[in-house]
Amino acid sequence: MPLLSVPLSGCSMGMGGFTSRISLHIMDLPDPTYRKVATTMTTEQHQELAPAEEDMGQLLEEMMGETKNVRRGDVVEGVIMSADASDGLFVNIGQKSEAHVPAHEMRTVDTPDMDSLIGGSIIAMVVRTETGDSPAILSVDRAIGEQGWRYLEKAMDAGEVIEGKIAGFNRGGSIVEVEGVQGFVPMSQLVSVPRERFRLYQENDQRLSEEEQMTLQEAQDAEIGKDLKMKVLEVNRSRNRAIFSERQAVQESRDALKAKLIQELEEGETRKGVVTGISSFGAFVDLGGADGLIHISELSWSMVNTPEEVVSVGQQLEVFVLRVDAENKKIALSLRRLQPEPWETIHQRLRVGEVVNATITKLTNFGAFARVEDSIEGLIHISELSSRMINHPREVVREGEQIYVKVLRIEPERRRLGLSLKQATEERYF
């Protein structure tokens, strides 16, 4: 009985294929017009083929990987395998077959070049799970909000500054939209929005006139759409809650600018700035990202009762950099150091023997101090107050009294000025 061994191709297993050989035994039958062909496989050939089957099964398992279980409503991340404006997207999410995003479920995907999406990752919501030969159906549009929540969670964990737009106002602050998620910025955490914008919600302002209400409403409307830079304070997906802070973002930015500015500043140089605040002890000046302090004693060589006598908020001026404390990030400024110290030029204004007007500023047991200029004070010794014997200066003068004095000595190096009331009086009347 002849044996014909022929190759048989195309016998496939799963996604691969193999080629083997089988034996065909051709047997003669009694009817010469009829022959029966039987196919058999020798024991040796079967043993040769068995390892090939095992290898192919292992290969298929490796190609398929572990199938992920997803449920309806889950938000999954996958890789875009194909993209078409009409057919939608086909995404690998770890299922047996690629999941499908219909065109009507991807309206938020705005790109003219669909091919550019291929290979990129995308987040989508499971609308229908995979069943039999039907692939899972996904929705990009329904997952856009979830993508925003994930973005906020990552930003909060990393401490990053985010950007959002004002979408509205309520009694306690501003409603802000970030990546499709609406969050809240409390009034106390707002910097760029004036508190005046919230008067419409305050109980004490219920008696606002119709015109005032309209003006405030127009001011609020003008803020809608305004961009804000913020830090994420809280994200609670289950409660649909996101809290932001513009103040922290601004402070962080200013801290970075201040650190940079402190490294650049040099003591003794002159800088331009703007007065941003005034307190009882001095004025704060913005030097372009960092505030420095002009102490009240450095505002003028003259006597200053309150900083408002010299500067005002919003005023632009030049200041002298007095000290830079890099460790504590403090900048001390001076306004008066830009002018010559009065003691250095005192000889240009006063001469020994000259009689000038003065104001009594302080009384002591040994005499009285008198101011002859805004920043120049001299001492009238008790012996120079009167030609008669006195026990205390208050017998002759009192604080705040205007008098004439004669200049006896000028000692600019020691910051001393000797004066005489007695001699000035004698010269005026005699």
Does 356 score more than 80 pLDDT? yes
pLDDT score, position 361: 93
Banded pLDDT at 303 (limits 50, 70, 90): confident
Lowest mean pLDDT among 61-65, 67-71, 86-90, 328-332: 61-65
- Per-residue pLDDT band at 147 (split at 50, 70, 90): confident
Out of 3.40.980.10, 2.40.50.140, 1.10.3720.10, 1.20.1250.10, which CATH number does the structure's domain 75-139 have? 2.40.50.140
C-alpha R_g of the chain: 45
Q: How confident is the model at residue 63 (pLDDT cuts 50, 70, 90)?
A: very low
- pLDDT at residue number 352: 94
When pLDDT is averaged across residues 280-305 and rounded to a whole number, the result is: 91
pLDDT of residue 287: 92
Range(s) of the chain covered by CATH 2.40.50.140: 75-139, 160-250, 266-338, 344-429
- Top-confidence residue, 156 or 107: 156
Confirm or reject CATH 2.40.50.140 for domain 160-250, answering yes or no.
yes
For residues 199 and 58, the model is more confident at 199
Q: What is the pLDDT of residues 34-44, one digit of tens each?
A: 344 343 444 44
User: How far, in Å, CA of 423 to CA of 402, rounded?
Assistant: 16
| pLDDT recorded at residue 430 | 52
Flag whether pLDDT at 231 surpasses 60. Answer: yes
Q: Could you tell me the fold of the domain covering 266-338?
A: OB fold (Dihydrolipoamide Acetyltransferase, E2P) (2.40.50)
- Rounded mean pLDDT, 158-166: 95
Q: What is the per-residue pLDDT for 146? A: 77
CA–CA separation, 101 and 367 (whole Å)? 96
Q: What is the pLDDT of residue 316?
A: 95
Query: Looking at this protein, which amino acid is placed at residue 321?
Result: V
Model pLDDT, residue 10: 38
Tens digits of per-residue pLDDT, 370-393? 999 878 999 999 999 999 999 999
**What is the pTM (predicted TM-score) of this model?**
0.50
Q: What CATH code is assigned to 344-429?
A: 2.40.50.140
Give the mean pLDDT of the chain. Answer: 82
Is-contact 415 376, C-beta < 8 A? no
Contacts of 233 (CB under 8 A, 6+ apart): 156, 189, 243, 244, 245, 248
- Per-residue pLDDT, averaged over 206-213, amounts to 76
Confidence at residue 33, expressed as pLDDT on a 0 to 100 scale: 40
Percent of the chain surpassing pLDDT 70? 82
Cα–Cα dist 361/379, whole Å: 10
Write down the pLDDT at residue 144: 79
More confident of the two residues 212 and 354: 354
Helix (H, G, I), strand (E, B) or coil at 290: coil
pLDDT-derived band of residue 329, with 50, 70 and 90 as boundaries?
Answer: confident
Is the pLDDT at 187 greater than 50? The verdict is yes
List all residues 6 or more positions away from 11 whose beta carbon is below 8 Å from its beta carbon: 17, 18, 19, 20
Asked if 309 contacts 294 with a C-beta cutoff of 8 angstroms, the reply is no
pLDDT for 202? 64
Mean pLDDT, range 312-335, rounded to an integer: 93
The conformation of residue 87, written as its DSSP 8-state character, comes to T
- On the question of pLDDT at 304 being above 90, the answer is no
Given pLDDT bands bounded at 50, 70 and 90, which one contains residue 366? very high
- Residue 291's Cα: distance from chain center in Å? 18
Q: Cβ contacts of residue 234 below 8 Å, gap of 6+?
A: 156, 241, 242, 243
